[in-house]
Amino acid sequence: MRDLGVGSWPRRRLKNGPDRTAITFGDTSFSYADVERRTRRLANALRGAGVSRGDRVAYVGFNHPSLLETFFATAQLGAVWVVVNARLAAEEVAYVLGDSGAGVVVHGPEHDELVRRIAPGLPAVHAWAGVGAPGAASAYEDLIEAAGEDEIDEPVTWDDPALIMYTSGTTGRPKGAVHTHGSLSFQYFSVLVDTDVARDDVALAFAPLFHVAGLNMLAMPTFLKGGRIVLQPQFRPETVLPAIAAERATSMFAVPTMLDLLARHELFPTTDVSSLRNVVVGGSPLPDRTLRAWADRGVPVQQGYGMTEAAPGVFLLPAADAERKHGSAGRPHFWVEGRVVRADGGDVAPGEIGEVIAQGPNVMAGYWEDPEATDAVLAEGWYRTGDLATVDDDGYVYVRDRLKDMYISGGENVYPAEVENALLEVSGVAEAAVVGVPDERWGEVGRAFVVLADDTALAPQDVEAYVRDALADRLARYKIPRHVVVCTELPRTATGKLRKHVLRQRFEEAP
């Protein structure tokens, strides 16, 4: 197996313009030469802290230049980067750090107090480095400034682990998906082929880089191509929309909730979005109203489908097909083979529901030190996603729902994603989630949780009757939720995915 030398990514970039801006964060910008210098120094500092090939280096924090620097420096040492969800609670962060065996942890300023709480219980972590504002005094900056600039480029192969990214853990403990230098590289290759990343791209990165899509569908392909990454610490519509215009952003990744919030913000109608040419959305089905809102502004939107275990790309719908094949996740990425299969393993007929399975060089090697969980999802090279989908006559895939989210009402399969999309078309409904709950007569019925729009005149006590009446002409009777609950907000992960197990728990506690 030939060596890849992945750790040399920043240095290779210098051949195409060391003075080009690589990263913008607030009022501070870093050229590719800056990134190369800082990364080399950090790699030397990590080596001085005892990090060697195969060791784990963790990062806990929101979007920040140091997140990417830590990734690159870890790769140069042949070590393994563990990126941790910055929104996890202290106990959850401690579990990830302990399970991965991280020996060094870099963390953002928002996590100083969390680190003080968990550090005594993690004796295996022998070094902690806090990050401050760019250029400000901090343990992290001290490491970089005190280190030398010796060239480090540990040879690695396609099969060597490079990244452990833990799943969201919506049920049970999170599992660490292990990605190799090969699986990451082929993910980036697919993006470069399928989304036409250009050297003059300005990628607005507000989706969290501690999740796979923000990192691998946007930031890393842009960096490899030589574009500019504009980092925002967190997603806030009031800062994202002005940044699109001010930075002349050409690309961005978002989950549907983010695109919807941007489209419904008061600044959206007057914001200049004409520079956007490559917007990718994924994580859950894109509501009709959201696609229309961006299409009306002339912004092409590519819908995609993937997961942490696939780094994440499986399917992608080109913007040219967005309206003709609306609702579709598209067809497989360039390097990926994706199928929709019946329980017997055969391919489904057009319109028939089946499970999505995928294989390709971008699929994870397995779950970190969990062979049982790995064997449960990887069989003969195919990853079983647990997602239900159909395929049309042209081979376009339509993801219907999670297998575990589907419920059966009176003998009929109900896919909550379809019902949620219909709910979002009801005037006055801003957000919606549907789960199946037990029912003596029908086995299961739908319970909808809705958040009302700020400007609605609906009274909460009238919502159930109003919604059920509005859906009467849109859905079959068995699909219409039997119960409608008004909420102030819906439980979501950091990427905007609904945490439906929390909603089910609410029902169990107060049926």
Q: Burial letters for 374-405: b for 16+ Cβ neighbours within 10 Å, e otherwise?
A: beebbeeebbbbebbbbbeeeebbbbbbbeeb
Neighbour count for residue 193 (Cβ, 10 Å): 13
pLDDT 10s digits, 147-177 = 999 999 899 999 999 999 998 654 457 899 9
On whether the CB atoms of residues 218 and 205 are closer than 8 A, the answer is yes
On whether the CB atoms of residues 241 and 268 are closer than 8 A, the answer is yes
Rounded to whole angstroms, how far apart are CA atoms 357 and 338? 6
Average pLDDT score over the chain: 90
- Can you tell me the mean pLDDT for 217-229? 96
pLDDT 10s digits, 416-437 = 888 888 898 888 999 999 998 8
Which residues does 342 contact at the CB level (< 8 Å), separation at least 6?
Answer: 348, 352, 354
Residue listed under structure tokens 């009274």: 459
Which residues does 254 contact at the CB level (< 8 Å), separation at least 6?
Answer: 206, 207, 235, 262, 279, 280, 281
- The CA–CA distances, whole Å, from 303 to 168, 255, 344, 392 equal 21, 10, 29, 16
- Which two tokens mark 270? 């007057």
pLDDT tops 60 at residue 11 = no
Which of the listed CATH numbers 1.10.10.10, 3.30.300.30, 3.40.50.150, 3.40.1390.30 matches domain 407-509? 3.30.300.30
Q: What angle do CA 292, 297, 299 make, to 5 degrees?
A: 85
Task: Give me the phi and psi of 479, to 5 degrees please.
Answer: -90, -20
The residue that leads in pLDDT, 501 or 303, is: 303
pLDDT value of position 183: 97
Q: Among candidates 173, 171, 172, 211, which has minimal Cα distance to 94?
A: 173
Helix (H, G, I), strand (E, B), or coil: what is residue 464?
helix
- Can you tell me the mean pLDDT for 50-56? 97
pLDDT 10s digits, 68-102 = 999 999 999 999 999 998 988 888 899 999 999 99
pLDDT value of position 197: 93
Return the bridge partners of 434, or none.
Answer: 448
Rounded to whole angstroms, how far apart are CA atoms 338 and 397? 9
pLDDT value of position 397: 96
pLDDT tops 70 at residue 231 = yes
pLDDT value of position 400: 81
- Return the H-helix or E-strand segment holding 297: none
pLDDT 10s digits, 441-463 = 787 889 999 999 888 888 888 88
pLDDT band at 3 (very low <50, low <70, confident <90, very high): very low
- Does domain 1-18+29-157 fall under CATH 3.30.1330.10? My reply is no
User: DSSP characters for 359-378?
Assistant: ESTTS-SEETT-HHHHHHHE
Instruction: Order the strands of the 483-486 sheet from edge to edge.
Output: 429-439, 443-452, 483-486
User: Could you state, in order of their start, the residue ranges of all structural domains in the chain?
Assistant: 1-18+29-157, 407-509
pLDDT 10s digits, 249-290 = 999 999 888 898 899 999 999 999 999 999 999 877 788 888
Report the chain's terminal Cα–Cα distance, integer Å: 58
pLDDT value of position 134: 61
Rounded to whole angstroms, how far apart are CA atoms 118 and 111? 11
pLDDT value of position 320: 86
Rounded to whole angstroms, how far apart are CA atoms 56 and 270? 46
